[in-house]
């Protein structure tokens, strides 16, 4: 069991229940229990390799171990590793909400990484704001989860948002595509389309998980207030009444619709959630209902 400040051990044990079932998080070929049968391809025995820490014990040839006292892993033709790339928005706008969007997003990232590794996938986590954080190339060993959790725990929201530029940079630098899971509030005046398209052009299968705060989804302010931009610090005095709240909701719905329409057109999986939704509910209801985990 990998210990983490993000989750208690009981929750990690619940995540392990998805290690066999989480087949729909990715669309490409996968390894081990996630086999993809293609016409003209075989999943027959091909060769052996030495056992390494983190390999699935189910693929050990115990007959050879009994005869030679040596641990060997069976390899099958037609099986490939799947890479899961988790891209986490850590811009200052992610600080809002209770719990904060950044803390909620880190839990989502950690949970998906844990599920992926337990499903024998390679997984990496990279943060971005107005610059791309250190790129962690996807790896498969469960032993790497400790460093991934430690990395997530150390992340703090900082910098402005440069959604398109960050994703373009990532798509250029990473040579091995796979499934890209983008976790963000999507709040960038420059838009989001170019960044997501850059991943698609580089042959990534893209998943967008939009995280918003309760205050953003249903603001409860009234009268004359001073709003401060979370990233620029720029203040703005506004007068809020029922009419302006209604207009806000209409524009918010139109924004959501534009994201949904774009994602449908580009075959991108899109799920939206508020940070007030318990993380367990988000995984078991939202992602499961959306077909991302099973």
Query: What is the structure's pLDDT at 108?
Result: 94
> Looking at per-residue confidence, does 138 or 247 come out higher?
247
Q: β-strands 83-89, 45-50: how paired?
A: unpaired
Tokens of 172: 């250029």
Q: Please give the average per-residue pLDDT across 134-147, as a whole number.
A: 75
Looking at the structure, do residues 67 and 205 belong to the same domain, yes or no?
no
> Looking at per-residue confidence, does 5 or 139 come out higher?
139
Query: What is the structure's pLDDT at 37?
Result: 28
Is 39 part of any domain? Answer: no
Query: What is the structure's pLDDT at 20?
Result: 30
Q: Give the model confidence (pLDDT) of 208-236 as tens digits.
A: 999 999 999 998 888 888 888 888 888 88
Domain hosting residue 125, numbered range: 9-24+80-289
Is 125 part of any domain? Answer: yes
Give residues with Cβ within 8 angstroms of 135, minimum separation 6: 124, 126, 170, 173, 174
List the beta bridge partners of residue 76.
Answer: 45
Distance of alpha carbon 287 from alpha carbon 294, whole angstroms: 8
- Return mean pLDDT, the chain: 80
Q: β-strands 45-50, 72-76: how paired?
A: antiparallel
Is 155 part of any domain? Answer: yes
CATH of the domain at 251: 3.40.50.410
Tokens of 181: 């899971």
Distance of alpha carbon 83 from alpha carbon 116, whole angstroms: 9
Sign of the four-CA dihedral 272, 200, 115, 94:
negative
Tokens of 289: 């209902």
Looking at the structure, do residues 59 and 16 belong to the same domain, yes or no?
no
Query: What is the structure's pLDDT at 261?
Result: 97
Looking at the structure, do residues 153 and 115 belong to the same domain, yes or no?
yes
Residue 154 has pLDDT above 50, yes or no: yes
Residue 36 has pLDDT above 60, yes or no: no
Looking at the structure, do residues 118 and 62 belong to the same domain, yes or no?
no
Taking alpha carbons only, the member of 168, 180, 186 closest to residue 131 is 168
DSSP secondary structure letter of residue 176: S
Query: What is the structure's pLDDT at 61?
Result: 81
Looking at the structure, do residues 283 and 163 belong to the same domain, yes or no?
yes
Looking at the structure, do residues 17 and 71 belong to the same domain, yes or no?
no
Residue 76 has pLDDT above 60, yes or no: no
Task: Give this prediction's pTM.
Answer: 0.78
Give residues with Cβ within 8 angstroms of 102, minimum separation 6: 90, 94, 95, 155, 156, 157
> Looking at per-residue confidence, does 98 or 18 come out higher?
98
Number of structural domains (the chain) is 2
Sorting pLDDT into bands at 50, 70 and 90, what band is 1? low
Distance of alpha carbon 150 from alpha carbon 148, whole angstroms: 5
Residue 98 has pLDDT above 60, yes or no: yes
Looking at the structure, do residues 116 and 60 belong to the same domain, yes or no?
no
């Amino acid at each position: 069991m990998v210990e983490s400040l993000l989750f208690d051990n009981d929750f990690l044990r619940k995540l392990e229940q998805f290690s066999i079932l989480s087949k729909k998080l990715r669309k490409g070929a996968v390894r081990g229990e996630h086999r993809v049968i293609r016409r003209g391809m075989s999943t027959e025995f091909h060769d052996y390799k030495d056992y390494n820490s983190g390999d699935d014990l189910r693929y050990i040839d115990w007959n050879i171990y009994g005869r030679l006292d040596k641990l060997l892993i069976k390899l099958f033709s037609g099986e490939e590793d799947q890479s899961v790339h988790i891209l986490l928005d850590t811009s200052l706008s992610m600080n809002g909400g209770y719990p904060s969007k950044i803390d909620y997003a880190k839990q989502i990232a950690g949970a998906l990484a844990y599920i992926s590794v337990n499903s024998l996938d390679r997984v990496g986590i990279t943060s971005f704001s107005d610059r791309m954080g250190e790129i962690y190339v996807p790896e498969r060993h469960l032993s790497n989860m400790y460093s991934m959790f430690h990395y997530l725990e150390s992340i703090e929201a900082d910098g402005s948002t440069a959604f398109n530029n960050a994703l373009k940079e990532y798509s250029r630098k990473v040579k091995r595509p796979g499934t890209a899971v983008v976790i963000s509030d999507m709040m960038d005046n420059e838009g989001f389309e170019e960044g997501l398209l850059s991943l698609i052009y580089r042959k990534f299968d893209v998943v967008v998980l939009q995280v918003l705060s309760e205050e953003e989804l249903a603001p409860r302010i009234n009268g004359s207030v001073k709003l401060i931009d979370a990233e620029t610090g720029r203040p703005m005095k506004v007068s809020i009444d029922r009419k302006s709240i209604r207009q806000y909701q209409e524009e918010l719905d139109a924004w959501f619709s534009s994201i949904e329409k774009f994602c449908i057109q580009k075959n991108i999986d899109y799920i939206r959630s508020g940070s007030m939704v318990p993380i367990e509910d988000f995984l078991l209801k939202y992602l499961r209902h959306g077909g991302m985990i099973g």
